[in-house]
Amino acid sequence: MIGAPIFIDGACKQYGAHTAVRSVTLEVEAGEFVSILGPSGSGKTTLLTMIAGFETPSAGRIVIGGRDVTQLPPNRRDIGMVFQRYALFPHMTVAENIAFPLKMRRLPRNERERKVAETLELVQLDDLARRYPHQLSGGQQQRVAVARAIVFEPPVLLMDEPLGALDKKLRETMQLEIKQLQQRLGATVIYVTHDQEEALTMSDRVAVMAAGEIAQVGSPASLYRQPQTAFVADFIGRMSFAEGIYLGLHEGFHAVRLGETVVLQASSVNGTIRPGARLKLAMRPEKLCLTARGKGGRNVIPGTLEASVFTGACELHLVRAETDGRPLIQIQTSVDTKPAGLDAGARVDIVAHEDSLHVFERQGS
């Protein structure tokens, strides 16, 4: 199987006065795994249905493998599709479900049987070929749906939240299985999800959507470490926010004031912010430190420890900051590094290194 490149060229979709997708342009390389990530109503599923051919763009083009398929129906696009509801035929066995797309393509019976056997082995369902869907677990049904989508060796595989019906443990297992399968096959995959963990775990790149537009595209690491907007910062991973005023550049650092007395220094800001502008300061919990009041040194936010939650490999501390709006800030520490004597009600300092702060101009300020 050889993956095909995909070019989404200014795709728009309108339903009357409502615009679901706004002039989206995205290039996906052959053999690449790209996730489209966003909250409900962001336009991600509408975009996928336009790529699949179930919806026609109001404007723009869909190009697959160098061929403009914008006006072609789904059955002429040569793509595999996996839905959240696996849509298996209940009256067919596993083998018959997988063979269905081959039968529709009128492949000879002996070739169908060979391809089904190879695909069953690939998804590790060899011994379940004669079972019916109701006799399978959720994970096994998911494998059958994937097998049916890949058995005819499509260059493109589209997946619409295929793990949404599975429990957390099984989702984590299937994430790795799907990624390994994609790497072995070489197919181009576009994977739609609202689950950031799925997107970060499986993807070569992630396109984050908001309000029908792509907010940012990049590798999982770049989205996590260098979010370009407050929305992306908030949507990818845990993030705490505080509001303040931008004071300008001082001694090589960007000075930020929170409330009347707290001034922090940040290594960089996102975009161009004028002195005096209102801003949002974003902080990753694992990039912050927690100390007793007065022992944090410079670049600290004073607050009161409200709670500490054990999560297994780490502890999550919730601190009510003593700044405007009294935001609740999360600090993540390993279970062995929490300073002694810091219990609920303790007065503490949150230590924020200059490189750990993300500064965004507040919209509407």
The model carries a pTM of 0.89
Please tell me the predicted confidence (pLDDT) of residue 206.
Answer: 98
Q: What is the pLDDT of residues 65-111, one digit of tens each?
A: 999 999 999 989 989 999 877 789 999 999 999 999 999 999 999 99
Report the residue count for the chain.
365
- Tell me the H-state helices in the chain: 44-52, 94-104, 109-122, 138-150, 168-185, 196-202, 220-225, 230-235
Please tell me the predicted confidence (pLDDT) of residue 352.
Answer: 94
At the topology level, CATH places domain 238-361 in OB fold (Dihydrolipoamide Acetyltransferase, E2P) (2.40.50)
Please tell me the predicted confidence (pLDDT) of residue 1.
Answer: 62
What rounded mean pLDDT belongs to the chain?
92
Nearest of 87, 210, 185 to residue 144 by alpha carbon: 87
CA 24 from chain centre, in angstroms, equals 17
Q: What is the pLDDT of residues 248-263, one digit of tens each?
A: 998 889 999 998 889 9
pLDDT band at 118 (very low <50, low <70, confident <90, very high): very high
Asked if the model's pLDDT at residue 365 lies above 60, the reply is: no
Asked if the model's pLDDT at residue 311 lies above 70, the reply is: yes
Please tell me the predicted confidence (pLDDT) of residue 80.
Answer: 92
Average pLDDT over residues 284-292: 93
pLDDT band at 143 (very low <50, low <70, confident <90, very high): confident
pLDDT band at 164 (very low <50, low <70, confident <90, very high): confident
Cα angle, residue 120 at apex, residues 116 and 124 outer, rounded to 5°: 175
Residues of the chain above pLDDT 70, percent: 98
Please tell me the predicted confidence (pLDDT) of residue 173.
Answer: 84
Q: What is the pLDDT of residues 207-246, one digit of tens each?
A: 999 999 999 999 999 999 999 999 999 999 999 999 999 9
DSSP per-residue codes, 320-355: EESSTT--EEEEEEETT-SPTT--TT-EEEEEE-GG
CATH superfamily of 6-231: P-loop containing nucleotide triphosphate hydrolases (3.40.50.300)
Please tell me the predicted confidence (pLDDT) of residue 168.
Answer: 82
Residues of the chain above pLDDT 90, percent: 75
Sequence ranges of the domains in the chain: 6-231, 238-361
